Each structure stands twice: as structure tokens, then as C-alpha cells.
Amino acid sequence: MDFFKLEKNGTNVKTELMAGLTTFLTMMYIVPVNAIIMSKTGMPMEALITATALITIFSTIVNGLWANTPIAMSVGMGLNAYFTFGLVLGMKVPWQTALGVVFVSGLLFLILSLTPLRVWIMRSISMDLRRAISAGIGSFIAFIGLKSMGMVVANPAVLVGVGNFKDPNVLLGVVGLILVFAFYAWKVKGAFIVAVLLTALIAWVVGIAPYPTSFFSMPASISPIALELDIMSALTLALFPVVITFLITDLFDSLGTLAGVGYRAGLFKEDGKELQKTLEVDAAATTCGALFGVSTTTAFIESAAGVEEGGRTGLTAVTTGLLFILTLFMMPLFKAIPENAIYPVLVMVGVLMFSELSHINFKDTAVAVSTFMIVIMMPLTFSITNGLAFGLISYLIIKLIKKEFKDINFGIVFLTVVSLIVFIVQ
């Protein structure tokens, strides 16, 4: 095991294997959750289950071997919801074109990862704005979760209202929400998947959903969605802001996750070699994921669970990736899970992303206003792109009004111009 430099990193095989198992348990929920979310676009759920498992296996193992870091990767929460509800259902973009958008953004991310442009973009947008973007996406996907559960419904008089809590499906969602909150608060390992399975069990017992007739089967083919992306349709002026949104969000999400997981455990050395390689895998995985037929792939914050168990090398990631092979054969179980056992996870993920607000400097007027616009407009307009546009435009305007020119750079101006395109081409 000298390949992973275990002794140099102060770990051993047993610790790495246990850390890999822990990471797997905390993030295996992504397979059924992502499949249910993206199936709303009309893509077959069976193929999505297989594709999600495959890209998780591929990206996580490659990261372990190439970067030698304990970081697991899979289809990112937030952007998969935007892909489905914002881009395909909201903007009426065919899912093939949406996959083209993901591919192009991944290709740009890969180029950035190999050049100094990545540093330039990072320096262009302040940490406060990056955190605001994360919080905004959190509010957006939490709103999607609540809406999908039926807890929030359309109301012609006031746009939105409270759902029908006499509906058994809505009540099931409430139970699921309570369970996911409780398990997370109790720091239960695999809190999300435990909550999902327990909620599903309740649904099966009380008759809200039928029992699974079997639990295991051979994997479904991904041929209905693999290589079906339409790149040329994605290369239009109207979708350019969307491509930039996917790129920026993926970049900041990855860097934020890696900073939170890696630096605290001392995973990334001063030369940044491991960080660089992990970002390269992240970007390459996004382009490959689009070929497989899924949305943006990114580093998973759940990797922190494995790191807390002592995982320090790529052996942890390789173990996690290999364990995800099991999910390829669990399709009957995943298909039997009712949707309202899944959507509470979106709300909890939204809560975690929303907590980034606690670190933002609201004493800066431009930051306070732009943060508010990002967080409020993403769910209200049902679009991460629109929310980001409102935030960047308001930030630049206030900085100009207050003559705080030192906080304005070419990157902010460029991204604001891109944001204006959002409204010009609509």
C-alpha cells in the first residue's frame, strides 16, 4: 500500500477502509435522490440510477488514484435541482441540451483547473459573495423540496401558500423531514439514507406506497441517456449565462468543499499539488458525467465523515468508490422508495448550505444587499442564474454609488455584464 503513502500520512489500511465505509454510508443517498430529481425531466429513472452510481464509482476511484485524497465525488445537489426544475422544466430546455450545458461548463472548468484563470476567478469574487451563492442555492433547493412534498403549493391570491396537511403523502413528507432533522442533529452516521429508508418503511407499512417486490436486480442500461447530450444547442447566447452559472457554482462548490474538508485535516500541502489534482478530477468528472447522462459532478462534503474517521489518503476514496458498486444492483429498492421520502433530504441540504450566511459581513452595504438579492431571488424566480444576476448587478451598482472602486475588478465587471445578458435575452 506504499502507493497511497499511508505511513507518511499517519494512517493505516484498517483506518482507511473504515473511513471509506463511513463516507459511503453518509452519501449513498445520492443515487436514489438524484435519480428521482432528474427523472422529472423525462429521463428514465432506471438509467439514471445506473448512471449516477457509475459516475460516482468512476470519479471517486480516479480521484483516489490520481490525487491521493480521501475526497468522494458524485452528482452535486443543487445543480441537479437547477438542471431539472430551473433549466428543463422552468426554461423548457430539452434535457439533451441541458446535458450539453453541463458538458461545456465542465470543459471550461477543466481548462480553468489547468491554467491561472482559476485563481483569477477566485480573486474576482469575494468570499462573502461566494458564501451568498451557496446560501442562495440552499434556499432554492429547500424551496424545491418543500414544493415537491406538497408542503408549499401555488396560491393565485398570494403566489404560494400552505399545502394540504390532511393528505397522507404530505404527512409522509413531514415525517421524513422530522426524521432527517433528528438523525442529523443526533449525528447519526448515514443520517440521510437512514431517514429515507425509515420513511419509506413507514410508507410501505401504512399502505401509502407498495412494498418492493424484490431488493436486488441487474443494473439497467444507460443507453437511453448516455451520449444523448446536444452540445451545439447549448452554444447559444441565451444559454451562455446558464453555462457561466454552472461553471461558477461548480467551481465555488468544489473549492468550498475541499477547503472545508481538506485544510482542517491537513490534506492539502502548501504546494497545492493535491488540491490541483482533485480539481482536475472534479472538472473531468463533470464532462464525463454529461456523457453518462447526469448533471454536474462535484466533490461531496460528506467526505468529511470519512476524514473524521481518520481517512487521509486516496485509499479511503477508492474504498468508497468500490462500495458504490453495490448500488448498481439495488434498483428495485430505490424505485420502491416514495418521492416524499426523498425530498426531505433536499430541505436538509438546503439548511446546511444556508448556514453559510453566518459567516458573511453584513456591515458592508453592497454585500448585505447583494446577499439578500441572491438568497431571495433564487427561489422566487426559480433560477440560480437569475438570483446570481440580481446579486452581482446590485453589488456593482452599490460599490459604484459608494465610490468603493478598490472592490471593483475586471472579473466582477465581466460577470455583471454576463448577468445583464440574462435579462437582455429573455
Which backbone phi and psi does 365 adopt, to 5 degrees? Answer: -60, -45
C-alpha cell at 167: 393528505
What cell was used for 126? 469575494
Spatial distance between the Cα atoms of 275 and 426, rounded to a whole number of angstroms: 38
**Residue 262: per-residue pLDDT:** 65
Asked whether 420 and 393 are in contact (CB, 8 A), the reply is: yes
What is the domain range of residue 210?
A: 2-424
pLDDT at 253 over 90: no
Q: Considering only CA atoms, which of 335, 33, 341, 31 is closest in space to residue 177?
A: 341
Residue 177 — pLDDT band, cuts 50, 70, 90? very high
φ and ψ of 161, to 5 deg: -150, 180
Q: What is the pLDDT of residue 265?
A: 59
Mean pLDDT (whole number) for 351-377: 93
CA-to-CA distance for 148 and 337, rounded, in angstroms? 15
Q: Which three cell numbers stand for residue 184?
A: 442529523
Which of 12-16, 115-119, 133-137, 412-416 has the highest average model confidence (pLDDT)? 12-16
* pLDDT for the residue 53: 97
Q: How far apart are the first and last CA of the chain?
A: 55
In 3D space, the residue among 106, 121, 108 whose CA is nearest the CA of residue 284 turns out to be 106
For residue 319, name the pLDDT band (cuts at 50, 70, 90): very high
Predicted confidence at residue 124, as pLDDT, reads 74
The burial of 207, by beta-carbon neighbours within 10 Å (0-12 exposed, 13-18 middle, 19 or more buried), is given as exposed
Nearest to 244 by CA among 424, 84, 409, 414: 414
pLDDT of residue 426: 56
Total domain count, the chain:
1
